Amino acid sequence: MSFYVAQFLTGLAEASSLFLVACGLSIIFGVTRIVNFAHGAFYMLGAYIAYTLAERFSGAIGFWGSLLTAAIIVAMLGALVETVLLRRIYHAPELFQLLATFGLTLMVEDLAVIIWGPEDLVGPRAPGFKGAVMILGQAVPSYDLLLIVLGPLVFGLLWMLFHKTRFGVLVRAATQDREMVAALGVNQRWLFTGVFALGIFLAALGGALQISRDAVNHTMDLRIIVETFVVVVIGGLGSVGGAFLAALIVAEFNAFGILIFPGISMILMFIIMALVLIVRPYGLLGRLEAPTRAVIAAAIVWAPLSSAGRIAVAAIVVAVALMPFGVGDYWLTVGSEILIFVLFAASLQFLMSTGGLVSFGHAAFFGLGAYGAALAVKDLGLPLLPALACGTTLGCAGAVVIGWFCVRLSGVYFAMLTLAFAQIVYSVAFQWTDVTGGDNGMLGVWPDAWAASPHTFFWLALAVALGGVVLLRMIVFSPFGYRLRAVRDSALRAEATGINRMTTQWAALIIAGTFAGLAGALFAFLKGSVFPDSLGVSTSVDGLVMVLLGGIGTISGSVLGAVVYKALSIFLVSQTDYSKLVLGAVIVGLVVVFPGGLGGITARFSRLRPVLGPAPPARPESLG
Amino acid sequence: MSASPNLLAVEGLRKSYGGVHAVQGVSFSLEAGEILALIGPNGAGKSTCFNMLNGQIKPDGGTIHLKGEAIAGLPPRLICRRGVGRTFQITATFASMSVRENVQTALSTFAGQDRRLFGLATRQHRHEADGLLDHVGLLAQADRPCAELAYGDLKRLELAVALSGKPALLLMDEPTAGMAPRERIALMRFTASMARAQGIGVLFTEHDMDIVFEHADRVMVLNRGEVIAVGTPETVRRDPRVRTTYLGEGLVYARPVEGGAP
Ligand SMILES: Nc1ncnc2c1ncn2[C@@H]1O[C@H](COP(=O)(O)OP(=O)(O)O)[C@@H](O)[C@H]1O
Ligand SMILES: [Mg+2]
């Protein structure tokens, strides 16, 4: 019994930490509608800076002063980022802000290594909270008890801030209705900067408080950002109370889940999120409130390629196909990898632009394809082509199951549910060691002799990628493609015209998942191995970045984006130790300079946006 | 039940939003080829009625029978497939497509071809789509991106899309709002002649009383969610309650616009 009490208290302490970070993210989203991917990076900076201050200057400002100062410094950094970077892109489609903050995250990760080194840093213990308190015969760290008090305290302070100050009232008003605040003549810029700084302050404080509990390192940002997203989505985007409740639920489930289901402890949180979203699609305390901006502003008039375009594409394809006669094996392998990611990006792009469905978990299908192929080779002893078919089928099957759940939601919530499922699949691959080899992956997945040489494999990859992209483009212009666009443009009109939104989007997800699975299967053979990473968040994010870089408007954009991004990252990794820093800076720079992506559709965006305006939310009230 | 049921029979339809009784106990019927105008001040519950009829929102109570079959509570796509087309007060169209593609998409849905993954969608039903666009006066703009259309033209496009399914019942929520007077008359004349020729039942809302009294076979007046009068345009025009609540000067727009629940 007493053991469970101690476990419960540990959960509460964890909940407080999670709450600090999550409510910051939630507040920022509520007002600015920015899904701040860099939230984890600011959290990490808070921890690093607090560590340095506590180590070097605790004489002057004391331990607690160090934590607070660190949070304030990072909040100022946040305000700087908001004014210099984000302010330029508030009017770009929502995802570009995600992309920009992702770029920032990459930069911060490398900067942290440059400044603080790659090793784990262990901060000093908090003065006065070094020991443990005996509760029912169990030792509970007194620092945990402090955190347990701190969470509700911060919650209370935020409540006061939001209900008793003019700033807080404006924040709440803006969360409910941004246009109204603008109409009231409130200086939106000032409000946004203030809110962003506040959110970042909370994240950094959360990070700073960790230094005497846990080691500080340069990977803590990704771990926390995924958990934070989960908490915010469970609680309801923009709801501080929801974040508090969700942090409690997630932390307690984690604390007890480890005892009850050790095998699935990693995915428990995602299972909770999936369940919550299916029952309450807008989170526990979130309200049905469509984003004010379309996730993707797609107002590009599409047409099949003209004959000149076809000739140009054919020329490029021929040139690529001739590459094996001119370049060495290393470059051909690099080329094959790029081609595989071209197909992966094109499949995600199909989902995003034609379907208007932004998936944060597209790697699930890629990884399922890779594992499917690897299992077919290792367990069934199948040769290359049947194994590719197995991988593709597994990707397709995954999309059937995952899609069935996900199409019940839309917008950011859809994105988060896809992320949850991808994490579930990732964790299965990671933990089901008997079948997947777990962390050690599956090795020895080599192609048959006929395709083993780099140049034949390159041609195979080219044929598959080209075939996939052509098929996807054909689907875009097919009656089904129009039906999918119809649902994206106006779910209201589509349903009133007899179109079933859910089955349409489900089918789109299955198509995209199948092609991603094919790409993944091929990837397994390229590498000769499969690791859980192929299913991980970073693979999903890579896909998103490629699509966004290329411009969401066209399939060809994703091809370009994949080539540029993959080539750049492979090149950078081989050239510099700080590839993330450079890549991040490139991404941030591109977003600022070309908010429409590399596809060169910026002009068209700016021309059509005023006409199109924000997509009206699909809610009953708007029927008028 | 009689041998041939009404095209549309509505009994005791109700919907409340919290304390706001948007629609309370509305009953009426509509015959094939008949044109029924639903009028009433803003906030009377007209759009709410439309939204329940096409399944956009679920009624709290009451029944809706289309050709004798109960349809209340079905999702919009199924109600549409049973022969109900509609236009929205705030137009809803496929903004990324051209005008013609909007209609083609609707046509291919009704023809059950929208599952095809191959073949160019823009080659399908082109002729039929142009015919519909010609009827509503949009043929000259068929190739324009829908996002560039003027508001009145969007209303016409919606009508063409609604007609693609050869509906038995057409619901038009303020079909002429945002149009010039000449256009209004032309659009309603077209709608009326088509309805009579093809036996389509039309239920429409309209603030322009000249249009209502010229085209409607019957008029139904809604106030605060209740039907206060039904009848021929003449009887309704003379009804004293209608005169005070609606036709009386200055009262037409007395209530706050949509969403401003009292
Ligand atoms: N989604 C909703 N939530 C709350 N109240 C609503 C909603 N939709 C309509 N109402 C209210 O119901 C009443 C009827 O609205 P509506 O049917 O749009 O009127 P009309 O179309 O006749 O102008 C109004 O008071 C309106 O404020
Ligand atoms: Mg209305």
Cβ atoms of A100 and A584 within 8 Å: the answer is no
Q: According to the model, what pLDDT value does residue A502 have?
A: 93
Cβ atoms of B201 and B83 within 8 Å: the answer is no
Which ranges of chain A have pLDDT less than 70?
A: 93-94, 178-186, 263-266, 288-303, 552-555, 595-624
Residues B161 and B78 in one domain: no
Q: Please name the helix (run of DSSP H) or strand (run of DSSP E) that holds residue A128, with its range, or none.
A: none
For A463, other C-beta atoms within 10 Å of its C-beta total 12
Q: Which residues in A lie closer than 8 A to residue B117 (C-beta atoms)?
A: 474-475, 478, 480, 511
Asked whether the beta carbons of residue A486 and residue B76 sit closer than 8 angstroms, the reply is: no
Last residue of a domain, one of B133, B166, B199: B166
Query: Burial letters for A273-300: b for 16+ Cβ neighbours within 10 Å, e otherwise?
Result: bbebbeeebbbbbbeebbbebbbbbbbb
Residues B48 and B1 in one domain: yes
Last residue of a domain, one of B166, B182, B202: B166
Cβ atoms of A353 and A553 within 8 Å: the answer is yes
Residues B153 and B225 in one domain: no
Q: Is A623 on the interface with B (CB under 8 A)?
A: yes
Q: According to the model, what pLDDT value does residue A582 have?
A: 86
* pLDDT, tens only, B15-66: 999 888 999 999 999 999 999 999 988 889 999 999 999 999 999 999 999 9
* pLDDT, tens only, A62-82: 889 999 999 999 999 999 999
Q: According to the model, what pLDDT value does residue A337 have?
A: 94
Residues B74 and B108 in one domain: no
Q: According to the model, what pLDDT value does residue A592 have?
A: 81
pTM over 0.90: no
Residues B22 and B134 in one domain: no
Of A156, A454, A445, A406, which Cα lies nearest the Cα of A277? A406
Q: Helix, strand, or coil here: B204?
A: strand
Domain A2-279 has CATH 1.10.357: no
Cα–Cα distance between A487 and A351 in angstroms, integer? 12
Kindly state the average pLDDT of the residues B145-149: 87
Asked whether the beta carbons of residue B119 and residue A478 sit closer than 8 angstroms, the reply is: yes
Q: Helix, strand, or coil here: A244?
A: helix
Ligand 1 centroid to residue B48 C-alpha, Å: 6
User: Which range, A42-51, A137-146, B221-230, B252-261, has the best average confidence (pLDDT)?
Assistant: A42-51
Q: Which residues in B lie closer than 8 A to residue A494 (C-beta atoms)?
A: 94
Check whether B182 has a pLDDT greater than 60. yes
Residues B186 and B77 in one domain: yes
Last residue of a domain, one of B145, B166, B187: B166
Domain count within chain B: 2
Q: Which residues in B lie closer than 8 A to residue A485 (C-beta atoms)?
A: 94, 96-97, 105
Kindly state the average pLDDT of the residues B243-252: 56
User: Residue B154 is part of which domain span?
Assistant: 91-166
Cβ atoms of A562 and A548 within 8 Å: the answer is no
Residues B107 and B181 in one domain: no
Residues B76 and B174 in one domain: yes
Could you say which DSSP state residue B144 is in?
Answer: S
Q: According to the model, what pLDDT value does residue B80 have?
A: 93
Q: Which residues in B lie closer than 8 A to residue A482 (C-beta atoms)?
A: 97, 101, 104-105, 108, 114, 121
A-B CB pairs within 8 A amount to 142
Residues B133 and B187 in one domain: no
Residues B205 and B159 in one domain: no
**B21, B38, B46, B48: residue to mutate for ligand 1 pocket, most atoms within 8 A of CB:** B48
In chain A, which residues fall in CATH 1.10.3470?
2-279, 300-623
Decide whether any atom of ligand 1 lies within 6 Å of the B175 Cβ: no
Decide whether any atom of ligand 1 lies within 6 Å of the B41 Cβ: no
**B15, B20, B87: residue to mutate for ligand 1 pocket, most atoms within 8 A of CB:** B20
Cα–Cα distance between A193 and A87 in angstroms, integer? 9
Ligand 1 centroid to residue B73 C-alpha, Å: 18
Residues B241 and B113 in one domain: no
User: Percent of chain B at pLDDT above 90?
Assistant: 53
CA angle A128, A129, A134 (to 5 degrees): 120
Of A94, A492, A90, which Cα lies nearest the Cα of A295? A94
CATH classification of the domain holding B216: 3.40.50.300
Residues B171 and B262 in one domain: yes
Of A612, A622, A620, A623, which Cα lies nearest the Cα of A91? A612
Angle between helices A479-489 and B99-110 (to 10 degrees): 110
Q: Please name the helix (run of DSSP H) or strand (run of DSSP E) that holds residue B87, with its range, or none.
A: strand B84-87
For A308, other C-beta atoms within 10 Å of its C-beta total 8
Domain A300-623: CATH class, spelled out: mainly alpha
Decide whether any atom of ligand 1 lies within 6 Å of the B22 Cβ: yes
